[in-house]
Amino acid sequence: MNFKYVKNVIKKYVFLEGISRRLISFVPYKLRKLDRDFWDFYYFLFAIEKRPKHEVQEYQFMQLCRVVQLAYAHSSFYRKKYDEAGFHPSHLKTLDDIKKIPILTKVEVRSFSESMVLDIYDIEKLYKGNTSGTTGKALQLYFDQKTDSKEWASICYQWKRVGYEPGDGRVEFRGFIDKDLDYLYLPDVNVLRINIVKLSEENLSIVIKKIEAVGYKFLHGYPSAIWKFASLIKRSGVRYQPQAIMMASEILYEWQMQIIDEVFSCAKTIHYGQAEKVALASWLTDRKYYFVPAYGILECNSDGRELIATSLINEVMPFIRYKLTDCITNVCYENTGSNGTFFPIADTIQGREEDNTFDTNGNLVPPAIVTFPFKQLQYIESAKIIQLAIGDFKVILETKHDAEYSPLRREIAEVVKNLTKIYGARSNFEVSLTDKIPVDPSGKFRWIECKINA
């Protein structure tokens, strides 16, 4: 039987998908989703945060040596890169020697992702992921079940600070719903996903009634989507309070937090991470970002702000001294207070800047939603979207191919089709091609701009 075909058929029909998910949900979530690697790392994170900083750094150094040795011995990309730079794993004597390792760039990952994978793994059996592909062509990423389990354990570990236990239900204000639904109930993963593009004053009461019916107490989503939900509640006067709110995947602005705090009196946190799984941080009670040292080693470049990170949870496709395009402010490497052993600590994290846009009904569309049409592209290198008016957009695409190249034209058509699903059937997208979209010195650019009321 072709299980992939059956799965695709089921996903095509909402009622079939609903039935299959309910049948799966009869097996307890913890038995299906939380394996030994999850629990081992989950409890390890709680244990290591109680250790003194020098012991945590010893653990980091031990893991660094291990991943560098594996990369050198089993990755053709790393062996060539390190040999050409005159670096050898034997040069690592202390944790400070990490600076001897050559920097890894996004350009290299984009070009050599398969040869970064250790040759002891069958690449066809690995999980595949990718970045959003907006500040550049999406990066192809590889990892295994163990990496996935450690990633989820790390997130649940951070959420524990606001009362979340592994397996608790979540109301998700994130992800793209490719159907005209108010929400999508996913009982097999204990998630109620709200259609944040459709969310409005007209269906707010329907959404809240469903949230109360399923009984989930935790909200999880993009800051802009949580802000939108809070703003609608404030305007409508509806009474609703969750147990806690967990935000992620976007920059959180102070003006958003003011409304969220005003409407919701519960505990709140936000976590910072990446698809590459190299660094993880979240708020503690003082609303500063505390990085998890057992998840990754974090450095800053010469100006003390731009992040360089080494993953300690993915040995399938090692990311060693990987240069991110995010910056932190007021960074402190000293472990202070009684919160546990976390370092570094930062006041804010700043990534690329982008605007909120609006669909043809005037509903706010968070930037994170707009990334979905730009994943897994082959011929489009980068993108910039400018909203001129409701339903009126300019889309600038960076590509090395001629406008008449048929595979490119098909890919552009698919992007426009998916953008239309997000913004509405009456939307118009004026597409233009360029060989290079300008970026600032750090490699960033404002990839979504909204000119409405500008």
Q: Does residue 442 have a pLDDT over 50?
A: no
Position 441 scores a pLDDT of: 46
* Higher-scoring residue by pLDDT: 386, 445: 386
- Average pLDDT of 445-452? 82
How does pLDDT run across 316-357, given as a tens digit for each residue? 999 999 998 788 878 887 765 567 889 899 888 876 667 778
Distances (CA, A) of 442 to 66, 292, 353: 31, 25, 13
Contacts of 116 (CB under 8 A, 6+ apart): 75, 77, 78, 109, 142, 317, 318
- Give residue 19's pLDDT: 67
Cα gap 112→106, rounded to integer Å: 10
pLDDT at 8 over 60: no
Task: Report yes or no: 394 and 452 within 8 Å, Cβ to Cβ.
Answer: no
The radius of gyration of the chain's CA atoms, rounded to the nearest angstrom, is 22
Task: Take residue 371 and report the two structure tokens written for it.
Answer: 């990334």
* Amino acid in position 191: V
Tens of pLDDT, residues 122-135: 999 999 987 765 55
The answer to whether the beta carbons of residues 309 and 296 sit under 8 Å apart is yes
More confident residue, 440 or 253: 253
Closest CA to 352 of 449, 269, 454, 226: 449
At 205-260, the pLDDT tens digits run 999 999 999 999 999 999 989 999 999 999 998 999 999 999 998 888 888 999 99
Using pLDDT thresholds of 50, 70 and 90, give the confidence band for residue 51: very high
**Residue 4 pLDDT greater than 70, yes or no:** no
Q: What percent of the chain has pLDDT over 70?
A: 87
Residue-averaged pLDDT of the chain = 88
Q: What's the token pair of residue 261? A: 């705090």
| Contact between residue 322 and residue 415 where contact means Cβ atoms under 8 Å apart | no
What does the pLDDT average to over 423-438?
Answer: 91
Provide the pLDDT confidence category of residue 363 given band limits of 50, 70 and 90: confident
pLDDT digits (tens, 9 = 90+) for 102-148: 999 988 998 899 999 999 999 999 999 877 655 555 688 999 999 99
What pLDDT does 3 receive? Answer: 42
Question: Is this model's pTM higher than 0.85 or not?
Answer: no
Which domains are present in the chain? Answer: 34-168+217-351 (3.40.50.12780), 357-450 (3.30.300.30)
How do residues 156-185 score in pLDDT, each as one tens digit? 999 999 999 999 999 999 888 877 899 999
Report the pLDDT value the prediction gives residue 2, as an integer from 0 to 100.
Answer: 43
pLDDT at site 24: 63
Least confident of 88-102, 142-156, 285-299, 338-352: 338-352
DSSP letters spanning 110-143:
HHHHHHHS-TTS-GGGSEEEE---SSSSPPEEEE
Residue 443 near residue 103 (C-beta atoms within 8 A): no
